Structure 1
Amino acid sequence: MDKACFIVEDLLPLYSEGLLSVETTKWLEEHLEQCEHCKELAALSKDSIVKEPVESTVDQKKMFKQINRKLSLYQIIFVTLSFIFAIQTSLLNESFGFILSYTILGLITYLFYKDMKMMFLIAFTPIFLWSLGTHIFEFSTGATEGNLGIKEIFFSFQGAILLGFSHLLFAFIGSLIGLLILKLKERG
């Protein structure tokens, strides 16, 4: 192999892609007519490489089942924490600790799900259900004067919505902080 063969070897990928100048292409083709070794290399470079399929050693169904199980566990933890926050730090308990608790809940929920709808459900639903249930329970046990009628249920429903939205406001602030954290992290 002479010096020209080494040059041809370097130029073969460009030649097969059609990226050489006209003069270089003429010179290379003349060399290929004279040199059998380089002609064989050129023929090999035109053949496509057969890719063998790679067999996956991971059972995808099993892997997704484990992932879904972990996500379900986290969801149960979030909902449980949300119910605990609803009961312990509710505005009905004359405690303003819910402000910090629900802000943190909104932050963590948004960072985990990256979805405002999930944050809304996890922050609003438990306090709404707990408040509504508490009001109806108080009417049904006689702790509150009056009969349990449509009017009382309607007022209980209104109160539960108001309480839920007041708690949701602070969870929303927490989720906005989470959104800001993600945007700042994205920018670097």
Structure 2
Amino acid sequence: MNKDCFIAEDLLPLYNDGLLQEETDEWLESHLKSCQKCNELAQLTKEPVEKETIISPVNHDKMMEKIKLKLSIYQIIFVGISFFFAIKTSLLNESFGFILSYTVLGVITYLFYRNFLIVTAIAFLPIFLWDIFQSFSMYVDGDTSLLLGIIGSAFLALIHLIFALMGSVIGLLILKLKKRG
């Protein structure tokens, strides 16, 4: 093979697609007439290549079931952690440890779900429901009114939510910094 053969070999795909300029097309055709090897190669490139069907060894449905199962487990863990925080911090016990706990919960939840609405649900609902339960038991005992209990529960849950949303913003900033770098 000489230099012209290498050039002809590189030009064959463009020749078959009709993408060569007229002068280049004429040169290649004259070369194919004079070179038996390149002519045989040109004939081979005109024949369609049989495509093999590739069968994937991965069962897509089974893989998706495993992913959904793992996501469900993570969701249960997040809800469990938020209920744990709700029980632990609902009375505040003259401690403001919930500030760090809910900020970290907000960061982790946002990094996992990337959705402020889910962070809101996970941070607000458990503390609200736990305090409503506590208020209802106090209402049954006659210690307080139910409306005051609901308002107090909502206020306390809102305070926890604020810190979780602050954590979410930190998570958002982490993602933006990660994307930039």
TM norm. shorter chain > 0.5: yes
The aligned counterpart of 2:151 is: 158
Q: CA deviation at 1:138?
A: 1.1
Q: 1:87 to 1:23 in 2, by over 3 A?
A: same
Aligned-pair identity in percent equals: 56
The aligned counterpart of 1:76 is: 76
What is the distance in 2 between the residues matched to 1:48 and 1:165? 67
Letter in 2 for 1:116: F
The aligned counterpart of 1:180 is: 173
The aligned counterpart of 1:33 is: 33
What is the distance in 1 between the residues matched to 2:34 and 2:20? 20
Deviations 1:50-104 (A, max 9, x none): 3212111112222111111111111111111101111112354332111111000
The aligned counterpart of 1:99 is: 99
- Give the unaligned 5+ runs of structure 2: none
Superposition misfits of 4+ residues, deviation over 6 angstroms: none
What is the distance in 2 between the residues matched to 1:11 and 1:168? 66
* Of 94-103 and 118-127, the range deviating more from structure 2: 94-103
What is the distance in 2 between the residues matched to 1:6 and 1:48? 22
The answer to whether the 8 Å contact 1:15/1:25 transfers is yes
Q: 1:161 to 1:48 in 2, by over 3 A?
A: farther
Q: CA deviation at 1:154?
A: 2.3
* Of 99-108 and 26-35, the range deviating more from structure 2: 26-35
TM-score, structure 2 normalization: 0.90
Aligned pairs (5 A) from 1:98-177: 98-142=98-142, 144=143, 152-177=145-170
What is the distance in 2 between the residues matched to 1:126 and 1:2? 78
Deviations 1:93-122 (A, max 9, x none): 332111111000100100111111111110
The answer to whether the 8 Å contact 2:90/2:130 transfers is no
- Give the unaligned 5+ runs of structure 1: 146-151
TM-score, structure 1 normalization: 0.87
* Of 110-119 and 40-49, the range deviating more from structure 2: 40-49
Letter in 2 for 1:45: T
Q: In angstroms, what is the RMSD of aligned CA positions?
A: 1.9
What is the distance in 2 between the residues matched to 1:2 and 1:104? 69
